[in-house]
Structure formats: C-alpha cells, structure tokens
Structure 1
Amino acid sequence: MALEHVDEFYVVATTGALYIFRENGTVYNYLSLGGISDIAINGDALLVTLVSQDFPNVRAFSFPALQPLWSFEPQMDVFDMSLIWTKRQTRSWRAKAVPEGFGVASGYTFYLLSRSGELLGNFTADSDIWDFPEDGDYYLATQEGALYVVGGDFRLKEKLNLCEAYELIDRVSNTSLGVFPRSIWEVNSHVAVCEDGTVHFLNGGNPVRVRTYTSNQLYSYYYQARRETGYGMQMFRNLKLVEDGNLSVVYTPEKLSVFDGSRLSWEEDESVAAVDIYDGKVYVLSVSRLGLETLKEYNATDGELLGKVEVKGLSCSGGDRKILAGENILVVSACEIKLLDSSGKLLWYLPISNKAGFIENGDFRVFFTDTEKMRREGMEFYSLFAMQGGRVLWRYSLPSDMAKKGHLSDVHIIGNNTVVATYSADGDDRLVVIWRNGTSLVLNGTDRFYAGVLDRYLLNASIMTFVENYSFSQLDNIPEEFKYGVDLDPDRWGEGNVLLWLEILRRLPVSVEAMEGIRDALNNLENYRMDRRIFGVDPCAFNGDGYQDLLVTGDSYFLVRDGLTLEEIFFKDSQSWRYRDNRLNRQYLSNFTADWFTDGGGAVCIDDSNGDGMGELFLTGRNGNVTMLFSNKGNYSVRWRGYYKNLKSDWVVELGDIDGDGVSDVVLSTWVQDRPDNIFFISSRDARVRYAFTPNQYFFRPSVDDIDGDGVNESILAYENDGAVLVVFSPSYKFEYTEFREFWETWNSYGKVMPAEIVPDMDGDGYKEIVVGVYRRWGDPGMLLLFFSGKDQELIKQVFVEGREEELSPEEWRLIPDIRRFGNLLAFVVPGWGVEGKLGVYNLDSQRVEAYVNHGAREVVDYGKDAVMIGSSGEVFWLDLGAFPSPQVSVEGPVVHVTSDPDYYTSIYVDSGLAASGRDESFDMRLSNGEHEVIVSLADEEGLQKLFVHHIRTFTSSDLGVLNVIVLVLAAGYIVFKVRAKWK
C-alpha cells in the first residue's frame, strides 16, 4: 500500500488497484492492477512496481491521465527445475523518484531508469533489495542484513553487516539446522531497521532494540520457514520506518519509538496500525479488535499527547492500513479510503470493501461492497455500482453524514432499472433511490408522518400554535347537537348562548370536527406517529403495469410505492383504532385497514398467480398467524391461514417457485431458545411445508434444474447443523449428502458455501447428475469434483482437478464456496490459503479443465450467456474464453515445435510436467519416442488462463534406425523371393 499527495491529487495504491482522487473526494482516475508493491511520481510520470513475474512488472503511466508510457522487465539468471540456467523476471519491491528519473529495487538488483524508461545503470547485491534512499550515494537495504553503499557510478563503496543472523539449533540433537540472515527492511539517512527487532544508526552509536522475540517464537518461526524470510512470511516488514528531516519514527504493531538523529527521544507502548509525521506532530492510527479506529496526535519532540479522536469508519479488522498526514489526513484500509480534517471530522470516503454481492434484472446488474460484519450480523454496506453489457453505468457511495449514523442494509431493482437501497440508522431509516442515469434521492419509507390525514393538521405550524394556546373547555361547554350543527334553535339554547357559541366556533382555524380530531391525536400523539423503521423491502409487479413496484414493511403497517413514480399506491395499517377512534381518520378506516391485517408483522408480494395482473400478498403476524391473500383486481381475499409458534414475524422472504405449481413460495423462521432458528420453506398456494431444517447458517439456490424429468426443477440447499449438510430437493425428489462435515472454514474465508450443481445426464439413464466440489483442508493442494448419479445417487465419477489421486479421507476435505454450470462448462472456486485461490473452468464434453482465472475467487454468477467471477477482493471479471489465440503444435521426428503469441505468458506441460515457459513466440522440445500429452497454457495480464490439449507421437533417431532395418529386411526378403522365383 502506498500513498502520495501531489498538487490537487491524492494517489492511493492498494495491492489490486490505483486510485487518483481530487482533494474534494472525486475519483479522477482508476486503474486495476494486481500485485502493486509501490508507486513513485516524478513530474507528469507515475511509476508502478508489481510483485507479479509473468509480465513486465515495472510500468510507467502519464500522471494523472494514467495512459501507458513504457514498461521495464527486470530479469536475472536462475537455475530452473530443468537444471538449466534461464532468465526469469524478479519481483519488484520498491520505487522512488530520483533526480535522474526513477529508482527501482527488483530482486537482487537496483536499477536507475530515466523518465523515458532508459536504463541508466544498475547494481546487483547478493539478496533481495528492500529499500534504497539516495543522497548522492545509494544505500541498499537487503535481505541478507547488509547495507550496501553504492556510488553514483554504481560501484560498491562499502558493505555494512548490520542485522544479526539467527542460528537454528535442533532442540533434540543440539546441532545446527542452519543460519538464517535477517533483513534490513527500511533505511533513511540516519537509521536502518532490522528484522531482528533492532534499530541501527548510520552515523555511529549503539543499536537500540525496539522489538524482542522469545526463543520459542524465534525457534517456531524459523523452524517452520526453513528459508530466508521473504514476501508473504510472518516476519515480513515486522518493523516499519517513517521519517521527517532529522526525525525517525520506528513502529511495530505494539510499540512506537521516536528518534532524533541517533538519540531515542520517546517511546509509547500501544496498538499501532499506521504512523505519519507532519508539522512537528506524530499521527498514530490505532485499531481495536473490533476494527474501531482511533487517531492520536503527539508532539514529535517530547511525546506529549495533543489530541485523540475516534474515527468513524467501516468495520475492518484485517489487512494493512496507512495514513498520510498534512493539512488533512488521508486514512486507507482494506475496507475504505477516507479523508479527515485536523480535528478528525470525516470529509469524504470511498468504500473499497473486499466482498462483493450483486442483484440483477436481465443484463442489468448491481454490485455492492460487503463488510466482515455482513456475514455475522446481516447485510451492511456503503456503496453500489451498476453495470450493463460489461459497462459501468454509475457508482454510488453513501454520503459521509449518513455513513456516520447508519449503513445500507438491503438493495432491490424496481421500475425501469431503478435501484432502491434501504438505509438503516437506529430507527431513522430511509430509502435511497438511484435512477439509471446515476442521480439519486433519499425518501422516508412512507410519506406519512402521522396516521391517516393528521399530517394536514399536526404539521401545520399556525394551526398547532393556536391549538397549543387554546382551552378546549370552551368546546366542552357547547352541547354536542349545537356544536355539530344538528340543532341551532335559539329558543332552545337561548340567544345569548347561541351568539357566544357561534363566536367560539367562528374563531377556530379549522372545523370543530378537525379540532376534536386534533385533540384526540394530541392525547395519543406517539401512537399516531408513523414509526420510521423499515423492516423489509420487497419488489414485485403489484399494480399490473409490467414494472416492478416496491412493497415496504414498517412497524405495524405496509405500503406499496409505484415502481415508476415512487408514489404510494397502496397502504394498510394494522392499528385500526387510529382510524376508528379519531374523527378525522374515520373516513379512511376502510381504505387504510383490513380485517386480514390486524397484528402487524411482515409482508411480501407474490407475483400474479390468478391472471388478474395484480400481485398477491403473503403476511406474517406477531401472534404467529400467517395469511396468504389472492388479489381480484386489487381486492384481496384470504386463500388460507396458518399458525407458527414463536414466529419471527418481521422476517419473511419470497423464494420464487420451488415446487413447480406456478406460484412463488416463501421462507419463514421461528425462534427456539438456546438453539438456532427453525427455517420453513412454505408453498404459497397450499401452505404445505416443502422443506424444514434447523441451520446455524445456510445458502440456497431455488429451482436450479430438473433432475428426474417430472417438470419440476430441483433446488440446492447447503447448511450447517453439527456439520455441513447438502440437500438437492423438490416435492418428489431428495438427495442428501453429509460426507464432508466441515462448513465454517469455507464460510469464514469466503462468506458462502454453495458447492453443488446439476449437470446433464452422464450415464444414459435419463436422469441428470449432481456434481459436488471439495478441496483439501491442509497439506498439499487438492481439488476434486465428485459426480453423483441423479437416479440412484451413487458416485459415478471423480475428477482430481488439482493434486494427486488418492483415497478420500472426509475429515481432510471441505466443501468449496461456489460452482455454476454454463452450457457445457462448469465454473468453480478453487480455494487456496485464506481467501486466495482461483477460479477453475471444467469442460463437461472434453472432461478436462479448460481454463483458470488466477485471482482470489469468491463466487461465480451468470450474466446472460457469460460467466462472471466475483473476486475475494471485490473484483468483477468477465470470462471470455473465446478471446485467446490458439497455439500451434507440430512434430518433426523427436522435436515438438510450439508457436504461441508473445503477448501471453505461455507454459507448456508434457505428460503433466512443466517443460517450458515464457513470453516467447516459439518453443522447441526434444522428447522421447512414443505418445505424449502436450498442454499449452496461455495466460493474459488479467490472470485469465486457457489450456489447449494436444496428443502427439514423436519418433527418435533410434526409432528411425529400427524402421530402416525393418525396411532393409523387407527389401532383402523381396530380392530373395524374386531371385528364387527366377531360378525356378
């Protein structure tokens, strides 16, 4: 992660992307690049270094336009698996702007490049170079713990061995297992920081230890590593350094140490995530275990705490963090980029959270950024973007003032691709509406503030001013018959009374009926107020105009907003007394209440099932009642009622048609003390329970495909209850699989467990089959596809996608996060350590893996006819396997010749072993005689890799000799036969 502030721009480089912001928070430019290690800006040129090794990993772009300028490919000779020396690109770690252009540390070599990409000079050390400050000479910090001082002519002037190596002693035999050099991670003109926890002073003085490791920690780490500490290891950059003039700040996750030259000025033991120095102040960002951030400001000279502020941000407990201090303070984490003013006030932010979800309407798809909290406590996100036809239509981030108080918790598509998200803020909830052109509007769940027509009066300031100062006893002294105009006879009431009462009524700002209604409302004001909480939002074709409308459930009421105009077109309130007992509202009793909605709860809309063009309704009540209503041109009647004890009435979800009866079905939940909730999949047509289970967590794909040919699609359910359970079911079919019990490891890493798919008939019995993906939990990598007969549910085939073929031990394997079929292709997530891994594509016809996407994959979805991968860092990838050129393979005797495209990285495997690789146009390989399988892999810069399989036969010179002997023998036999024939 790297940050820069240049002129009016902030530049942020994360591991997967480069962002350029204006100071007001507007995204000026963006570039997706995997594996960014550092950036440097020199005038109108920006240099990016990458850790990837297949394509040039030093790249220059114009700044701020980010147009490609040039690239550089640092290489060194390595001894490869084929026991030959070959050139291999090195990982590039560090980039800095220098007067001549740019300095780059890549592998063992420091390079000096001009701004136009010309190599001006280089120096090679004996190990990886991590850092290189410059003051006329270059100071190269290396992995071997030595500091190389190199002159401007690239000649070594001095080599200082600073970091103490570690000797690993076997605790049983007491013999040395090896000596491990330890890195200098960073260096400036005053100090160098070492992996062993010490700070060394370049101008003299004894080193200071700021981090101490126990002998057990060191033994455990280096015994497991068995190699020099490097990229991706636990101790990688365990000490970090920030400088400003003569001041150096060295920090670890647990401690902060400030040096003035070679003198330790002050220290602070505290949680440290990121540090920067500006204007004589040290800014320290701390993060709690729950991901809450605190920004502290210290006097750089004496360590006095000048200020402390809690920073409102997205929950993000993992990943790196960095801050850039100035007049304002830029804070970057794995979840968001945000700018604070000097008091800690949030000025703007951009969520970059690393889990992406989506919803769709045809080829219109909306993606939202997830947070860790989403998987534990429900949906919580702060930004959205929409795509159609592979093009981004708009991006939306929740305004910072709203983000301080709440978050987005749900999102739907209605009308003409209008997006509606639910904003949740401790009872002050809202609807965020985003139209197709990206413009947005924030609405209340309901336009009504008070029940019925009370808004007309209770929100009128002049009326309420009169009412507040009015004595209602004047009205109470007027007889009811006179007050309401039934009997105005002065002979009966007396002329004086009549004149008095008429004057009292004349002075009222509203009718007497309205005054009495206002008094009724004021006596129960809170009960008349419409609660701002939004319990649920559900899209459906409610009014029959062909567009999706929006059903909103609040506290004791629900309403429908038109999908095109967003106006309220239907409203029902379960609190009928608010209309029956109040004079103003009585006229609305029949419109706003119904005898089938009397105890609040939830509501969802079921698409039209009886042909009247109007949506049906499914209601859940707080007393446990559930009601299915069918519409007759908007007039609703009860089709059936049911009862569920301990029903969670505010939670009901429409599933789609899972039983093939033409009516969308629903899922309900009931709570049980000290146990997970019971989940019920209910038929909306006849109230039957189609499936019931008690999960700690579950994932569901409704109506996937028809296995048994009965015309009803089966659904796929994966859940956890004392172990993983996988079920494929319909009313007349059930497949249950519990062989692989581990569930939480996959869920914790990916937030999803959906490891099964339905594929075409493979054994000719007329039933489609079920495929389940599993992968190895530990040890060597392994990925396996298990194909089960849809008819007898027996295992009919297993395919080892990765790893060696072996006996399956279920406790060593777990279910994969996701798998989907696209025609004859199966796309599936191949997990790695943590959330790393990739996406695999298996061809059902050729029965081979056809492609990989070499990015951390979380989910795969269909986008029309295309497959789209959702990356574990929030990326969205389109899988276009047809875009690759086909490599040519030919055979001449014992030599196999492969012609490829140098724009792709080519890897050639012969009989499962890597034979050649690189970005060359042609490859020649001499093979032994016989049949061989040659797999040519092409990979592009985006990480998409396609495999081409060829079966060949080679002939060596010995084969030709044998053939020649055979030919000679046959020829000799022919001659003998002819001679004999002649003599006869």
Structure 2
Amino acid sequence: LSFPDLKKIWEFRPEMLVFDDRMVWQKKETKSWRVKLSGKNILVASGYTLYLLNPEGKPIKNLTIEDDIWDFLEKNGKIYIASQNGYIYTADKNLSLQDKVKICNGYVLINPVTNETVMEITRSVWQVSQELYVACEDGSVYHIPTGKRIQIMEYSQSYLNTYYSGIRRETSLTDKLYKNIKLLNTPNGTLAYSSSVLSMLKEGESKWKISTRIEALDFYSGKIYIHHGIRYNREIISIVNLDGEEEKTLSTSTLSACTPSQYLLHVSDKGIVIVSNCEIKLVSDNGEIVWYIPTEGRLSYISSENITVAFPDTRYRYFENLIFYSIILPESGHVFILPKEMRENGYLQDVKILYGNVVLLYINSTTGEGEILIVDAKTGRLKKRLKASDKTYAGALDKYLLDPQTIRMLQDFDFSLLDEIPSEVLEGRIGEAIANHGLENVQRWLKVLENLPFPPEVMHSLKDVMDHVQDFRLNSRIRRIDICDINGDGIKDLLISSENLITARDGKTLKEIWLVDREKWRYELPVNEEYMKNSTQPWMNEDIILLCAGDVNIDGRDDVFAVSHRFIGFLESVGEGNYKFRWNRSLKDVGWEDAFTVPDVDGNHARELVIPIWRRDARSVAEIIDSRTGRIIFTIPGDTFWIMPEAGDLNGDGTNESIILFEDYGAKLTVFSPGFEWKYEKITRFHDLWNKYGIHAPAVVMDVTDDGVKDLVFAVTEEDGGIKIVEFDVKDDIPVKTVTVEKSRWKKREEDWMYVNAMAQSENFVAFSAPVPEWRNDRRGTVYLWDIEREKPLMIIHLDAKSMILNDKNLMIFGMDGRIAKINLKGKEEKPYELSLKGGKIKIFSPEKYITVYINGKLSASGYEITNFMLSPGKKNLQIRVRDASGIEKIFFESVNLEGINIIP
C-alpha cells in the first residue's frame, strides 16, 4: 500500500494444493502469519512456506517446511524459522535450508483410565526475538546462543491432559495456549510474558519476574506499559520500570455494553493507542481520551424518508436498552461519532429519523439526565443539542430564576417586609387600610411596594420558590423518544417522555409545541396560574411514558399509548394538545420502561403495544395489546422473540397475518391473526445462533404457489454449513417445497437445523444469511442472493450478516464486524470470465478473481485467476462461482456437451 493514502500498489496471494474433505485437490490461499523487510526485499511467512518477494511483489525464492511457520528472524546472515512442529529451522539468505533443531518437545497424551499412550501432539515455537530467545508452547523460553531454558509458565499434568484431549487445530479460538508466551525486544533485554507473568531476560537468564494480569504490553522510552484489562468499568494501565517496579497507574473509561476480548497496545510520544474489538482510542499519560473510534460491529438499521441509519446493536432481546456510540449513514458514507467529552459520561440509547434529520437520545450515565442530538442525515454533522424542554423551571419561573441579578436580589431581599403588609394595601383598599392601620403605616407599606422589583403577587410566589428552588426545576431524565404527529400539521413531531414530564417538539422547526407536567402544584402559584391549563392534564397523574399509536380516531392527530409501572392505557386526541383515555387498566409487574409499539397486528389499522410482564415464580411473558380495546391479542412466552407485523395474507381471509419466532422449549415459528393461529415446531434449536446474532428475522412471505395467497418462506441451516429454503402453504397447512442450497456433510434430523438470523425479499429475489454458531470458528458467515423462481443462487457475499435490506435495485448488508456492503442489482451482468473448451479439457480464466466450479452439483475444481480440468463425455451442467477481493462471489451457469472418449490421466 502507498502511504498515507493507503492505495493498493500490488498484492501477493500465497497458495498451496490441498486435498480437501470432498476428495478434491484445490488451490487454497494460505494464512499469512508474518511479514518483514529483508533489505529492499520482503519476507512473507504463509502456511508452510517462507517467500522472498522483490519490491514489486514478485516471488524470487521460497522455502517450504513440514508445518506452519509462525515467525522468523533474519540475523548474522541466517534466517531462523519458528514452526508449529516445535523446530527452529535455519536457512541462509537464499532460503537454502541449513539445519533444524527441536526446541519444543511434543506432549504425550495418555489415557488416564488405561494408562495407554493415545498420541504425541506437537507443540509450537511461537516467536524468535532479536537476542535469539525462542518462545515455546510448553511455557518456556529457550536461548539459542547459551542453550539455556527459562520456564515462564508452569502447567499441571491434569490441565495439559484435558487441554490436549480437546484441542482443535489449527489455531482455533478455543486454543488457550495459542501464543501463550510472547517476546518483546528492549534495549535492556528481552521481555517474555504470558497472560499472568512478566519476566526480563538477559544473557540467557531471568533477571526478574512478576505476576500480574496482562492483556497487552508495549515498551517505550525506558518504560514498560502493561494493559491489565477492566477493573470497575475502567481500563487499567501500569507503567513499570526496567527493574520490574511499578511507577504509575492510569485508568481510562470503557464503552458500555461492549466487552473487549482482545487488546493491542502501542505507545509513542503522541500517547497510548489502545485497540480492542470495541474501539480504537488514543489516551494521554493521565488517562484522558484524546480521540476514539468505536468498532463494536453488530449493525442493525432503521429506514424512513429514504434515509437509512445503521447503528451497533448489542441487544439480544427487544426489552433491552440500546447502547451505542456512533451511527453510519450508508447513502452518504458519513459517520457520526459521539463527541469524546460526551462519551466519557454517557452513551446513545435511541435513534429516530425526523424530517431529514437523525434524532439521537443521549443519556448521561452519571447524572441520569438525557439530551436530544440532532444530526444532519446528509453530512453526519451535529446540528443541535436539545433538552427535553426549552424551559428549565415550571411556568413563568424561567424569567426570574435564570437571571443571576434577580436571584441575588431575591436572596438579599427581606421578605418579612412583604409579609407584614395587610391585604387591604395589597388589594388597593387604601382608605380602609388607613382606617384600620393608620396613615403612617400605610405610607411605609406603599413605599415598600413602590420599591419592589416585581408585583407583590410575584414576590410572594418567588418567596415560596426560593425556599426549594430545585423542586420547581423540570426533570431532564429522558426515558423515551418517539415520532408522531402531535399538532396535526401532517408532519411528524418528536415526542419526548421524561420523568414526570411529557414534551413534544415540532418536526420541522424542533421548537417546543407541547408540555405536560405531572406536578400540578407548581402551577398553583399566582405567578404560574396562567400556565395551569396548558401545562397540566387530568390524565397525567402518574410518571408515564407515551408511545405513538397512529391516528386511531381519524381526527388528523396521532393518538398515543400511556404506560406506567401500574397501568397501561390508550389516550386519544380530543383537540389541540388535549387527550382523554379511551381505555386503561391496571397491571402488576409490567416492564413499563421497556414497552414498544409495532405496526398493526389485528387488522384495525393502528399500531399495537408490546409489553413485558414479569411474573413471580413463573416465566416472564410479552403481551401484544390492541390499541382500540386494550385486549390481549397474543401472549408470547418468555422475552426472547422476533415479530413481523402485517406480514401478509397467508390464509386467504383478506386480513394480513403476523409472524413471530420465539423460544418455548425449542424454536416456535407462529403465524397468527384474529381467530387464526398456525405453528411450525419441527425446527427446535434456538440459542446456538441467537446467542451470537441476537434478534432474528428468518422468514419472508411471497406467493410461491400462484394462488393469489401469500406463502411462508424461511431458511434454515445446520452447524456444518448445510442450508435449505423451506416453502410452506399456510392456508392449506402443507409443505410446498424444500430446496437444498448447500448440501449437509452428514444426514441431519429435522431438529438439528436452526433458523437463519436474517432474511429479506424483493419482488424477484430473496436474500438470506448463512450464519455460523458462536462455538464454530473454522468458517465465517455469508449471505446468499437467491432466485426463488428458478431455484438458483445468484450471488454469495462473504460477510457475516446481522441484518439486511433488499429491493430490486440494491442489496445492503449490515455486518457483524461493522462493515456495510451495498451491491447494485440493476443491469445485465456480464460474465467476468472466459471459458474455453478443447477436447475434454476446460479452461476458465478470470483476472484477479477466485474461481470455483461445480459439475452436476459437486465441487470439482478451483483456483485463483485460472483453473483447468478434464471432463468425460456427455452433457454437463457447470456452476461457476467467481469471487473478487471484496468477498462478492457471483454465480453463473453453463452447459457443455462433450462427444467422444477422453482419457483422463
């Protein structure tokens, strides 16, 4: 790559022939573990081979050994090669092998019951340091010049026997001893460290050794920097001198809802760069964050007004709070990251789209207060920061309590002078006052009134307020935001539910248009009486959340659900800013702060409420509540489910059914509408994928039987990579077809399959994920684009998907790793390869592409840029898959008919 623009100059793809489990010789790209400069040339360790490349990326020479190469060191005219089989190989600069020495002995695995030897397992040499220290998998470090061995880590026999009995090669994430000892060069010696031990090595001996938790380590300017991981929600870094003594400890904040699994540390004069799967950040010497880039991944999206917003979604249930720090705008390519000063104290908890803007709810985790962030949907720039209300204090009190001069005057004012003035004087009955109290007193009181900064009734009110000012402050603890038309102008507005306060802002101007305060006593003050009517409502007697339900009573204004910890209800509009309960009912143990709404489920053209009910001594449930009547439409066992409201008419009754996937002693896929319910319970495995991907969307509806009624189409997979599409006629309760997309390696029972985590449809295609269970690490998830009518795959995208959007123009995939892939589906696809046939030999050429060929459904050949293979006589159907560097694998179909006899060597 060029620097700093990072444009590709050339690439080198190491390959080797592999006889795979399908009995096919294939060229496979090997894993590259190390790249180093060798003068003007480049050394690359990949697979079993060490390559020497020239500056143009062309191989000059190579050396292949018997096992994986983890590391190498060029020193004194020799190249020392560390391998998985425990040897150090020595070669010259021309890559001619000179010697090999066994450094790490294998482990003899013994059956503890029979005491018989099961096998001998090789143990790796992980690394070679500049001072020729060699890190071994057995927990030791070997010094080549002196022949001395230093034991860094000790492992018990029982641990090793258990470990090597269950190990999965190669380099699986379950391999706890993978690179268990690491080396770092310093001017004063070599640092050897594991996850719990740090030692300074010099002249073949350990000068000192300390025990401490080590997640990552670096050396800079005579100091050792140790990342200890997280303690009490803070990342801890120790600074240790060359004698192993701790000189300083600093801590820095972490991202909520993301647990780092790996760290990298790099220290320079700019500060400390900390890299994890959650974020990349630069930290100063005192632990303050200079800048950060969130990298959580697990992208979900919302889409409205031709705007799509992607955001990290770590939830596994609808009833969990969102916590994220950035959004991505795929159309423009812009990213908004929460400013670092706000990230230190809080997080983003919700996202909406409103009149060309992205609305974000920010929660300060220290104070609990909320704030509304308005981000431009085109540029990704922060436009405004708003509170729930423009007011700080109830009613007219802002006018007085926000003015420092007024506050000082009120604090200095002697209210006893005001208290002694009789009502006759205050009410202007001066003659009566003189008769009752005397002229001199009345004149003195009139002078007091004359010098008052505000009318006496205001002063009386402010006296009461000054005794407990904070009680008149409007609460800024925002609980929820929603989008609906509050003022009836046809433009959606922002509805904000705060603690004891409901406000709304105009969708176009963002000005405050509605405020309802639960604390009615605040408006009984004379100074606030004029605000009583518009700032309080009879229905606001509880701390509640309002959720938009749509215009149910068809008066031009949206109606709302009201949810509190003791009841739920439905408020319908009865005029400007006024609502009344259409129905309400008491509830116990309702998770009111987690309630949400979904589109119409029962055919009444209004949104429905979904609430969690926490039952004592029983499993919790989720209830779907009808907006018009408050009746329970459907009860979902548990709190782990996915719902597709208004999926389509699947039983031919003219009403759209909804689909729910939930877990109830196995996966349950249910189609329902008023008076109708259909279940599919043959697929039982549930948590294998849900625990990794979270909320699923495994089904779509489309008319595959051409009878004018929608059918259910869902995709399932199994742990070894088999994939099927199942089409079901719900109306007649009969399976239509099961199409095998990828064959299973072994025969599977129905209960061995699992619903995929993401599926989408357009008029002509369906797209679905091929997810991988969390405990499988030998392959990655992909996405298939499928022609449902021709029953053929069109494309495979090598991206592990969290969610996706599909229409006839584009497929947009939101990845688990945070990437977004947007594939254009318009226009005729030109074949990106050349196919030639000569005799029985076929040659396929595709520049800079990886080619895979299936013949009559069986994998038969593969290769990078070019592949050759022989065919026997007869008609053959070829499936040609061509994959580019971005991971998009397009699929084409060819048919060839060979005559004569070919002898295949």
The CA distance in 2 between the partners of 1:736 and 1:346, in whole Å, is 52
Q: Bigger shift: 428-437 or 549-558?
A: 428-437
Q: Which residue matches 1:307?
A: 248
Q: Does the 8 A contact of 2:70 with 2:82 survive in 1?
A: yes
Q: Which residue matches 1:3?
A: none
In the TM superposition, residue 226 of structure 1 has moved relative to its aligned partner by: 7.8
In the TM superposition, residue 894 of structure 1 has moved relative to its aligned partner by: 6.9
The answer to whether residue 37 in structure 2 is matched with residue 106 in structure 1 is no
Q: Does the 8 A contact of 2:449 with 2:456 survive in 1?
A: yes
Q: Does the 8 A contact of 1:884 with 1:946 survive in 2?
A: no
The answer to whether residue 752 in structure 2 is matched with residue 812 in structure 1 is yes
Residue number among 717, 730, 736 corresponding to 1:790 in the alignment: 730
In the TM superposition, residue 292 of structure 1 has moved relative to its aligned partner by: 5.0
Matches within 5 A, 1:318-333: 318-327=260-269, 328-333=271-276
In the TM superposition, residue 545 of structure 1 has moved relative to its aligned partner by: 4.0
Matches within 5 A, 1:107-506: 107-119=47-59, 121-137=61-77, 138-169=79-110, 177-190=118-131, 191-225=133-167, 233-288=175-230, 293-301=235-243, 303-315=244-256, 316-327=258-269, 328-371=271-314, 377-388=320-331, 391-392=332-333, 394-425=334-365, 426-436=367-377, 437-440=379-382, 441-487=384-430, 491-492=434-435, 493-506=437-450
Q: Bigger shift: 152-161 or 219-228?
A: 219-228
Q: 5+ residue gaps in structure 1?
A: 1-60, 960-984
The answer to whether residue 786 in structure 2 is matched with residue 842 in structure 1 is yes
The answer to whether residue 651 in structure 2 is matched with residue 708 in structure 1 is yes
Between 1 and 2, higher relative CO (CA 8 Å, sep ≥ 6) is seen in 2
The CA distance in 2 between the partners of 1:699 and 1:89, in whole Å, is 39
Q: Bigger shift: 509-518 or 143-152?
A: 143-152
The answer to whether residue 487 in structure 2 is matched with residue 547 in structure 1 is no
Q: What is the one-letter code of the residue matched to 1:699?
A: W
In the TM superposition, residue 490 of structure 1 has moved relative to its aligned partner by: 5.8
Q: 5+ residue gaps in structure 2?
A: none
Q: Does the 8 A contact of 1:239 with 1:252 survive in 2?
A: yes
Q: Which residue matches 1:698?
A: 641
Q: Secondary structure at the match of 2:476?
A: coil
Q: Does the 8 A contact of 1:629 with 1:640 survive in 2?
A: no
Q: How has the CA–CA distance of structure 1 residues 220 and 665 changed in structure 2, closer, same or farther, with 3 Å as cutoff?
A: same
The CA distance in 1 between the partners of 2:61 and 2:438, in whole Å, is 115
Q: Does the 8 A contact of 2:688 with 2:773 survive in 1?
A: no
Q: Bigger shift: 628-637 or 517-526?
A: 628-637
Q: Does the 8 A contact of 2:300 with 2:802 survive in 1?
A: no
Q: What is the one-letter code of the residue matched to 1:238?
A: N
The CA distance in 2 between the partners of 1:653 and 1:365, in whole Å, is 21
In the TM superposition, residue 535 of structure 1 has moved relative to its aligned partner by: 0.9
Q: Which residue matches 2:507?
A: 563
The CA distance in 2 between the partners of 1:232 and 1:517, in whole Å, is 69
In the TM superposition, residue 273 of structure 1 has moved relative to its aligned partner by: 0.9
Q: TM-score, normalised by structure 2?
A: 0.91
The CA distance in 2 between the partners of 1:197 and 1:614, in whole Å, is 71
The CA distance in 2 between the partners of 1:807 and 1:228, in whole Å, is 26
CA deviation vs aligned residue, 1:484-527 (integer Å, no higher than 9, x gap): 43546564342211211122222322221111111222344333
The CA distance in 1 between the partners of 2:832 and 2:675, in whole Å, is 49
Q: Bigger shift: 851-860 or 562-571?
A: 851-860
The CA distance in 2 between the partners of 1:480 and 1:656, in whole Å, is 60
Q: Bigger shift: 908-917 or 671-680?
A: 671-680
In the TM superposition, residue 125 of structure 1 has moved relative to its aligned partner by: 3.5
The CA distance in 2 between the partners of 1:488 and 1:658, in whole Å, is 73
Q: How has the CA–CA distance of structure 1 residues 837 and 707 changed in structure 2, closer, same or farther, with 3 Å as cutoff?
A: same
Q: What is the one-letter code of the residue matched to 1:242?
A: L
CA deviation vs aligned residue, 1:118-160 (integer Å, no higher than 9, x gap): 5455444343222223334332222222223333344445433
Q: Secondary structure at the match of 2:148?
A: coil
The CA distance in 2 between the partners of 1:245 and 1:287, in whole Å, is 26
Q: Which residue matches 2:626?
A: 683
Residue number among 742, 745, 756 corresponding to 2:699 in the alignment: 756
Q: Secondary structure at the match of 2:542?
A: coil
Q: Secondary structure at the match of 2:192?
A: strand
Q: Does the 8 A contact of 1:150 with 1:158 survive in 2?
A: yes
In the TM superposition, residue 611 of structure 1 has moved relative to its aligned partner by: 4.8
Q: What is the one-letter code of the residue matched to 2:139?
A: G
The CA distance in 1 between the partners of 2:190 and 2:47, in whole Å, is 26
Query: How many equivalent residue pairs?
Result: 890
Q: TM-score, normalised by structure 1?
A: 0.84
In the TM superposition, residue 669 of structure 1 has moved relative to its aligned partner by: 3.6
The CA distance in 2 between the partners of 1:765 and 1:74, in whole Å, is 53
Q: How has the CA–CA distance of structure 1 residues 837 and 622 changed in structure 2, closer, same or farther, with 3 Å as cutoff?
A: closer
Q: State the percentage of identical aligned residues.
A: 30
The CA distance in 1 between the partners of 2:37 and 2:835, in whole Å, is 48
The CA distance in 1 between the partners of 2:593 and 2:180, in whole Å, is 49
Q: Does the 8 A contact of 2:299 with 2:310 survive in 1?
A: yes
The CA distance in 2 between the partners of 1:84 and 1:347, in whole Å, is 53
Q: How has the CA–CA distance of structure 1 residues 680 and 223 changed in structure 2, closer, same or farther, with 3 Å as cutoff?
A: closer
Q: What is the one-letter code of the residue matched to 2:858?
A: G
In the TM superposition, residue 373 of structure 1 has moved relative to its aligned partner by: 9.0
Q: What is the one-letter code of the residue matched to 1:816?
A: V
The CA distance in 2 between the partners of 1:160 and 1:554, in whole Å, is 71
Q: What is the one-letter code of the residue matched to 2:302?
A: I
Q: Does the 8 A contact of 2:728 with 2:737 survive in 1?
A: yes
The CA distance in 1 between the partners of 2:860 and 2:613, in whole Å, is 59
Q: How has the CA–CA distance of structure 1 residues 652 and 84 changed in structure 2, closer, same or farther, with 3 Å as cutoff?
A: closer
Q: Does the 8 A contact of 2:316 with 2:694 survive in 1?
A: no
Q: Which residue matches 1:573?
A: 517
Q: How has the CA–CA distance of structure 1 residues 488 and 825 changed in structure 2, closer, same or farther, with 3 Å as cutoff?
A: farther
Q: Which residue matches 2:810?
A: 866
CA deviation vs aligned residue, 1:209-242 (integer Å, no higher than 9, x gap): 2223333443444444586768985543222222
The CA distance in 2 between the partners of 1:809 and 1:792, in whole Å, is 25
Q: How has the CA–CA distance of structure 1 residues 676 and 246 changed in structure 2, closer, same or farther, with 3 Å as cutoff?
A: same
Q: Does the 8 A contact of 1:695 with 1:721 survive in 2?
A: yes
The answer to whether residue 475 in structure 2 is matched with residue 531 in structure 1 is yes
Q: What is the one-letter code of the residue matched to 1:309?
A: L
Q: How has the CA–CA distance of structure 1 residues 153 and 741 changed in structure 2, closer, same or farther, with 3 Å as cutoff?
A: closer
Q: Does the 8 A contact of 1:891 with 1:954 survive in 2?
A: no
The CA distance in 1 between the partners of 2:414 and 2:618, in whole Å, is 57
Q: Does the 8 A contact of 2:569 with 2:581 survive in 1?
A: no
Q: Bigger shift: 368-377 or 695-704?
A: 368-377
The CA distance in 2 between the partners of 1:344 and 1:374, in whole Å, is 34
Q: How has the CA–CA distance of structure 1 residues 925 and 548 changed in structure 2, closer, same or farther, with 3 Å as cutoff?
A: farther
Q: Does the 8 A contact of 1:445 with 1:532 survive in 2?
A: yes
Q: Which residue matches 2:860?
A: 915
Q: Which residue matches 2:543?
A: 600
In the TM superposition, residue 117 of structure 1 has moved relative to its aligned partner by: 3.2
